[in-house]
Amino acid sequence: NAGVTQTPKFRILKIGQSMTLQCAQDMNHNYMYWYRQDPGMGLKLIYYSVGAGITDKGEVPNGYNVSRSTTEDFPLRLELAAPSQTSVYFCASSYPDRSAGELFFGEGSRLTVL
């Protein structure tokens, strides 16, 4: 049982480049999320999805886009990378209807924009 899988684990981008962070979960969770964590800070919600075809902005959505075509996958797209997007990105999933809404996290993707 893999849980939440994120790829890549590490990536270095140049300013203005684009990339997609992949996230997949095999727990049949309806809800999926993307968070970023800057050094010494907590996790900030970027985007979330309550099911296939449904996405919504979180606290810090600028510079990012998402899509949710299947229950399993929730990719995060950076269109024009900026140094301010240097961070560790965590994908998570949950099934709030059956629990306190605890999140299951992937191992994270460390992104550096130079």
Question: For residues 53 and 71, what is the distance between their CA atoms, to the nearest angstrom?
Answer: 9
Among 58, 61, 63, 75, binds another protein (CB under 8 A): 58
If binding is defined by CB under 8 A, does position 102 make contact with another protein? yes
First-to-last alpha carbon distance for the chain, in angstroms, is 36
| Dihedral Cα 48, 49, 50, 51, nearest 10 deg | -160
Among 8, 53, 83, 96, binds another protein (CB under 8 A): 96
Using CB under 8 A, list all residues that contact another protein. Answer: 4, 31, 33, 35, 40-45, 48, 50, 58, 90, 92, 94, 96, 100-108
